[in-house]
């Protein structure tokens, strides 16, 4: 089933009413497996860093790295954005 229209619809709703994004995220987080898949996908695509992924899943960076290793996902080298995210993640914990 090609449901790209759902993604575009969500994008349009969030653009017109940014507060809806928080509702959407809260609903996604209720399904932990689905949210984990989304976070891992974003990491694989290079959209978020390892630190951001761990922050989103509310786990440590080491726990996130272990999840990725178990799934056969290679860890990326840190770039400038990753280092900034690392500092933010440390502040968050």
pLDDT digits (tens, 9 = 90+) for 6-56: 889 989 999 999 999 999 989 989 999 999 999 999 999 999 989 899 999
Q: Count of domains in the chain?
A: 1
| Residues 67, 40 contacting (CB under 8 angstroms) | yes
Q: Could you give the residue ranges of the DSSP H alpha helices within the chain?
A: 4-16, 19-30, 32-44, 50-57, 61-70, 80-92
**Per-residue pLDDT at 79 exceeds 90:** no
What pLDDT band is residue 93 in, cutting at 50, 70 and 90? low
Q: For residue 67, what are the domain limits?
A: 17-92
The backbone torsions φ and ψ at residue 71, rounded to the nearest 5 degrees and listed phi first, read: -90, 0
Tell me whether residue 3 is in a domain: no
Residue 21 φ then ψ, to 5°: -60, -40
5 inside domain = no
């Amino acid at each position: 089933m090609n449901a790209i229209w759902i993604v575009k619809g969500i994008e349009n709703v969030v653009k017109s009413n940014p507060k809806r994004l928080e509702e959407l995220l809260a609903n996604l987080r209720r399904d932990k497996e689905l949210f984990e898949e989304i976070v891992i996908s974003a990491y694989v695509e290079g959209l978020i860093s390892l630190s951001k992924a761990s922050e989103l899943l509310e786990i440590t960076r080491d726990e996130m790295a272990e999840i990725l290793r178990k799934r056969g996902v290679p860890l990326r080298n840190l770039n400038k954005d990753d280092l900034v995210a690392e500092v933010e993640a440390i502040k968050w914990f």
